[in-house]
């Protein structure tokens, strides 16, 4: 399988406010048409990595100080978000940042900002097709929608922009298990039917590795482990620290629980 | 009865004038949540630009009208570009203080060039525009005010509600990071809203100038009158601006007519206090949607 690299991040460092270093030498590659998962604990730098790609570091006074980010073989680091979105990279922010005072349909229409002036009716239908729940709520103010509907709304809104590369930041945050499964099913569907390349940041490692082709594990601003999703799922460390099962797969007895004594291999 | 009708007509057209002045203010607030304290001065800039073109340069009315509107559109654009853009990302209060400074600067500039006297436009409104009802004669200025006001308010109402650009502008006011993540050109939205505000301000400045004569102090004090209007109607609502404007306009003329002219300036604020006690977001303002 020799697919082309859609996005290539080469050894980047990100610094906030000129002093706080959050990423120290992150490299990753995303192949055309794949779903790539980026997992890790809180504060590992996952969201920062996404923002470095989408250019949203800038308003937060962050900067890529070293390394390079290449999208379709063109360098994009430290460009403004307006330019990056117009190249086809759309980020879905963490925590469902809907436009409260706009209706569902108006929210979706904001997604057309990168291709203003062109017709969007077809795309609306496509999104309502993916998320029938939204079609029923099209005239409702987004502020009155439920968490599940909002997550669908923000993903749908991003789809309106016809992204080449979709960056999803924790789509499962705060959703019931059934809804999480539904959202992930749709993410997979988007990847297969629209052929959209997806970079998925998740805390729900189990779900994330199920739908991904490839995965990266981050800790303390570095990539510590990478591999095919199948390989990561079987990796004893990932199992231990992120999937919560022991090496044998049996339930653990509290008696032998000394995981705090076990050093992570990669540190 | 005749007196009553007279006051009613006066009040309504004054109200539309206030609504029109408030429109530019609402425009900026809607897209960037900035309270523009220099709005009265923007109005005055428009009025004086029109004066310069008609009375001094003696250009034809239509041409100078078009030039004034374009000029103030550009002025709004320039103000945003050079004064407000460097403050993007700073606290809102700093931006608002900047508009106070802008107000002082514009007023000083106008006083320096034109002095504090009252100037007048040459007569140009066709007298056929005036309408004669049974008892009263509505002067052509008021008819013109009414038509222009209604036209602009409808135009911008539809613009915000249905056009894509209008929706992008509202999205920026609603959630700026999210708008950025979708590729909305936030800086362009700010520039556009200031430019449109400049244009509308010029429009209302000219109409005010026709009615009251052109005077720096008087025009910039209209900028203050905008506050009860928009607070009454709800800061971010165009229909609110119309209703608020008409209410304040009627209140003013009726107090002036039946009670005393000195109460005229005060009554709107008193009513404002009572209305806000009942409806703290104004009559049509957005209620904060809070998720608990």
Which residue in B167, B181, B185 is closest to A109 by CB distance? B167
CATH number, position B75: 1.10.3470
Count up the domains in chain B and report the number.
1
Contact A144 B289 (CB under 8 A): yes
What count of Cα atoms within 13 Å lies in the side-chain half-sphere of residue B105?
10
Question: Does some domain include residue B192?
Answer: yes
Task: Give residue A1's pLDDT band: very low, low, confident or very high (50, 70, 90).
Answer: very low
Q: If residue A169 lies in a helix (H) or strand (E), which one and from where to where?
A: strand A165-169
The continuous run of DSSP H or E covering A22 comes out as: strand A20-31
d(CA B48, CA B202): 9
Enumerate the residues of chain B whose CB falls inside 8 A of the CB of residue A95. Answer: none
Question: B283 in a domain, yes or no?
Answer: no
Q: Sort out which chain A residues have CB atoms less than 8 A from B171's CB and list them.
A: 99, 102, 106-107, 110
Helix (H) or strand (E) holding B132: strand B131-132
Which of the two residues, A245 and B41, has the higher pLDDT score?
B41
Domain assignment present for B247: yes
pLDDT of residue B86: 85
DSSP code string of A53-74: HHTTTGGGTEEEEEEEEEETTE
Minimum CA–CA partner of A107 in chain B: B171
Q: Name every chain A residue with its beta carbon within 8 A of the beta carbon of B33.
A: none
| Mutation to test the A interface, candidates B89, B178, B181, most A Cβ within 10 Å | B181
Per-residue pLDDT at B268 exceeds 60: yes
Instruction: Output the pLDDT for position A263.
Output: 52
Q: What is the pTM of this model?
A: 0.83
> Considering the domain boundaries, does residue B71 fall inside one?
yes
Q: Which whole number is the average pLDDT over B267-276? A: 84
Question: Which residues of chain B have a CB within 8 Å of the CB of A93?
Answer: 177-178, 181
- B285: in domain: no
| pLDDT tens digits for range A23-36 | 999 999 999 999 99
Cβ within 8 Å, pair B167-A102: yes
User: Is there a domain that residue B287 lies in?
Assistant: no
CB within 8 Å of A101: residues ≥ 6 apart: A141, A142, A143, B170, B174, B286, B289
For the beta carbon of residue B82, count every other beta carbon within 10 angstroms: 9
* ipTM tops the 0.90 cut: no
Asked if B183's CB is within 8 angstroms of A86's CB, the reply is yes
Residues counted in chain A: 267
- What percent of chain B has pLDDT above 70? 97
β-bridge mates for residue B137, sequence order: B132
In a domain, B214, yes or no: yes
Residue B217 placed within a domain: yes
Give me the domain span that covers residue B245. 2-278
CB A266 within 8 A of CB A220: no
Predicted confidence (pLDDT) per residue in A133-156, tens digit: 999 999 999 989 999 999 999 999
Instruction: Read off the pLDDT of each residue in B135-158 and give the average, rounded to a whole number.
Output: 83
Radius of gyration of chain B (CA): 19
Nearest to A85 among B89, B174, B182 (CB): B182
pLDDT recorded at residue B290: 66
Cβ-nearest to A59 among B164, B180, B286: B180
Ramachandran class of A123: left when φ > 0, alpha when ψ lies in -120 to 50, beta otherwise: alpha
pLDDT of A3: 66
A-B contacts at Cβ under 8 angstroms: 87
Q: Which residues of B touch A59 (CB under 8 A)?
A: 89, 177, 180
Show residues of chain B in contact with A117, CB under 8 Å: 164
Query: For A114, which of B165, B183, B289 is closest by C-beta distance?
Result: B183
For chain A, what percent of residues have pLDDT higher than 90? 66
CA distance B111 to chain A (A): 39
Is pLDDT of B67 > 90? yes
The pLDDT confidence band at residue B218, using thresholds 50, 70 and 90, is: confident
Q: Which of A56, A102, A143 sits opposite B181 (nearest CB)?
A: A56
Tell the residue number behind the tokens 């608020």, with chain if given. Answer: B244
Q: Above 60 in pLDDT, residue B243?
A: yes
> How far is the C-alpha of A76 from the C-alpha of A74, rounded, in Å?
6
Cβ neighbours of A91 in B, within 8 Å:
181
**For range A67-89, the mean pLDDT:** 91
Task: Determine the distance in angstroms separating the CA of A99 from the nearest CA of chain B, rounded to an integer.
Answer: 6
């Amino acid at each position: 399988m020799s697919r082309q690299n859609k996005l290539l991040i080469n050894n980047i460092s990100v610094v906030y406010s000129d002093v706080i270093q959050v990423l120290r030498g992150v490299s990753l590659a995303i192949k055309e048409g794949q779903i790539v998962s980026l997992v890790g604990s809180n504060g590992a730098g996952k969201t920062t990595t996404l923002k470095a790609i989408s250019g949203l570091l800038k308003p937060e006074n962050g900067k890529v100080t070293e390394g390079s980010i290449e999208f379709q073989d063109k360098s994009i680091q430290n460009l403004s978000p307006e330019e990056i979105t117009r190249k086809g990279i759309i980020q879905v922010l963490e925590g469902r940042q809907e436009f409260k005072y706009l209706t569902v349909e108006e929210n979706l229409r904001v997604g057309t900002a990168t291709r203003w002036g062109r017709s969007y009716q077809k795309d609306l239908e496509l999104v309502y097709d993916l998320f029938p729940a939204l079609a029923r709520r099209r005239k409702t103010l987004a502020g009155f929608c439920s968490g599940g509907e909002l997550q669908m709304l923000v993903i749908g809104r991003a789809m309106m922009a016809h992204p080449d590369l979709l960056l999803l930041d924790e789509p499962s945050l705060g959703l019931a298990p059934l809804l999480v499964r539904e959202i992930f099913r749709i993410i997979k569907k988007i990847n297969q039917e629209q052929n959209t390349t997806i970079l998925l940041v998740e805390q729900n490692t189990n779900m994330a590795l199920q739908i991904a082709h490839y995965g990266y594990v981050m800790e303390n601003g570095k990539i510590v482990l990478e591999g095919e999703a199948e390989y990561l799922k079987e990796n004893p460390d990932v199992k231990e620290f992120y999937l919560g099962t022991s090496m044998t797969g049996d339930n653990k007895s509290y008696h032998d629980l000394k995981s705090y004594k076990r050093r992570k291999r990669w540190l | 009865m005749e007196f009553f009708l007279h006051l009613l007509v006066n009040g309504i057209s004054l109200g539309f004038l206030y609504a029109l002045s408030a429109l530019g203010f609402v425009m900026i607030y809607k897209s960037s949540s900035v309270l523009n304290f220099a709005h009265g001065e923007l109005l005055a800039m428009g009025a004086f630009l029109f004066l310069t073109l008609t009375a001094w340069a003696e250009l034809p009315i239509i041409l100078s009208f078009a030039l004034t509107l374009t000029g103030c559109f550009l002025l709004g654009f320039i103000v945003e570009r050079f004064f407000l853009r460097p403050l993007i990302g700073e606290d809102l209060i700093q931006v608002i203080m900047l508009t106070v400074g802008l107000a002082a600067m514009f007023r000083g500039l106008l006083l320096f060039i034109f002095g504090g006297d009252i100037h007048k436009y040459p007569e140009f409104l066709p007298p056929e525009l005036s309408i004669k009802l049974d008892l009263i004669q509505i002067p052509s200025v008021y008819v013109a005010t009414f038509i222009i006001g209604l036209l602009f308010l409808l135009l911008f109402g539809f613009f915000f509600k249905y056009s894509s650009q209008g929706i992008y502008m509202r999205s920026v006011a609603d959630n700026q990071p999210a708008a950025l993540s979708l590729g909305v050109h936030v800086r362009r939205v700010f520039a556009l809203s200031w430019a449109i505000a400049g244009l509308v301000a010029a429009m209302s400045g000219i109409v005010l100038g026709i009615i009251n004569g052109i005077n720096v102090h008087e025009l910039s004090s209209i900028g203050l009158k905008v506050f009860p209007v928009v607070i009454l109607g709800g800061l971010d609502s165009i229909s609110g601006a119309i209703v608020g404007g008409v209410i304040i306009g009627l209140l003013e003329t009726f107090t002036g007519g039946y009670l005393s002219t000195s109460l005229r300036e005060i009554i709107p604020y008193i009513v404002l206090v009572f209305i806000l006690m009942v409806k703290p977001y104004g009559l049509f303002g957005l209620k904060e949607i809070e998720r608990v």
